[in-house]
Each structure stands twice: as C-alpha cells, then as structure tokens.
C-alpha cells in the first residue's frame, strides 16, 4: 500500500532580529540589482520559501518513489502538470518492464527515499526552481524541480534527477 502525498506547511522558526539597511546592492549571476525589504516583507518571503521548499521536497520524494515503483502515479496528479505527469508515468512503466516488481512486504518497510535539504531560487513571483537533495538506499541524489504558482497552489512543471 502506498502512502498518500502529504503537503504540509512547516512551522516558521522564531524571527531573528535584523538590522535595517537603506539599500542592498549585490551582484548576481544575471547582473546587479538593488533590493530594499521591510521586516514584514522579509518574513513573508522566508515563509514563502519554506512553503515552496516543503512542497518541492514532498513532490521530489514522491516522484522518485513513483519511478522506483513503490508509489502510484495518481497520488501526485493534483500537483503535477498533466504533460509532465504523462512523462513520469511513461518512465515508470519503462522501468517496471526492466526491473522486477517489489514484493508487498517491502512496501511496508521504512521509506526508500528520504528527503534532505532544499535550495529555493525564486525566478519571479510565480515561478520557483528548487534543488532537493534526497537519500536513496544506494546513494544521494539531486532532484531539480520547477514550480509554478497556478491560482493558489504550486504546481510541478519540470523535473530532473541526477
């Protein structure tokens, strides 16, 4: 039996007092930009990043579990772009043809894929790219995901495993 995908919002840590600055100018990979943030906006940004990281981590683990054959594809259908969902399903079917199916007794064992750290990069207000480090029984893997905000929820639109 597969576990349902659970997306939960992490509890925010206690806010750390910050010094006020008039403007911060820092070079980035795509050029220089200046950023002025108030304390409320900074806390909202941290909360958004934590929510995005939690969503991306849950979806990355669920996708790897689908690809390894321990989770059904329909458990993530609500959070994944239909075109990407079809690609994940096709890849899982190809893997199932090559690899033997796991016995049902193995499905009740501890999780095959364990989440690690997530690094969030906000492309803009409605797009975020996240790298999630996960641990599988044999090795550590990086999973890159792209999330897009559609109405009120983040939707997985791209996935790459390494």
Give 11-27 pLDDT, tens digit per residue. Answer: 545 554 544 433 333 33
Angstrom distance (rounded) from CA 51 to CA 45: 10
How do residues 74-131 score in pLDDT, each as one tens digit?
999 999 999 999 999 999 999 888 876 665 545 555 667 899 999 999 999 999 999 9
pLDDT at residue 136 in the model: 86
How far is the C-alpha of 34 from the C-alpha of 45, rounded, in Å?
16
What does DSSP assign to residue 76?
Answer: S
Higher pLDDT, 84 or 36: 84
What residue segments make up the domains of the chain, in order of their start? 36-161
pLDDT-above-70 percentage for the chain: 65
Looking at the predicted structure, is the pLDDT value of residue 70 above 70? yes
- Helix, coil or strand: residue 11: coil
Instruction: State the architecture of 36-161 in CATH terms.
Output: Roll (3.10)
pLDDT at 2 over 60: no
Question: pTM of the predicted model, to two decimals?
Answer: 0.69
> Does residue 31 register a pLDDT over 50?
no
Question: Is the CB of residue 64 less than 8 Å from the CB of residue 143?
Answer: yes
Residue count of the chain, please give it: 162
Q: How far apart are the first and last CA of the chain?
A: 27
Q: What is the pLDDT of residue 33?
A: 35
Average pLDDT, whole number, for the chain?
77
pLDDT at position 29 is: 37
């Amino acid at each position: 039996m597969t576990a349902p995908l659970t997306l939960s919002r992490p509890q925010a840590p206690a806010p750390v007092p910050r010094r006020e600055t008039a403007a911060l100018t820092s070079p980035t990979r795509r050029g220089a930009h200046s950023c002025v943030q108030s304390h409320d906006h900074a806390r909202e940004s941290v909360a958004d990043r934590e929510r995005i990281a939690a969503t991306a981590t849950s979806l990355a683990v669920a996708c790897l579990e689908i690809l390894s054959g321990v989770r059904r594809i329909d458990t993530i259908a609500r959070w994944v772009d239909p075109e990407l969902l079809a690609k994940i399903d096709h890849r899982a079917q190809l893997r199932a043809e090559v690899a033997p199916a796991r016995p049902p007794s193995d499905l009740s064992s501890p999780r095959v894929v364990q989440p690690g750290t997530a690094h969030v990069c906000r492309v803009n207000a409605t797009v975020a790219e996240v790298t999630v480090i996960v641990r599988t029984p044999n090795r550590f893997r990086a999973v890159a995901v792209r999330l897009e905000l559609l109405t009120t929820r983040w939707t997985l639109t791209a996935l790459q495993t390494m």
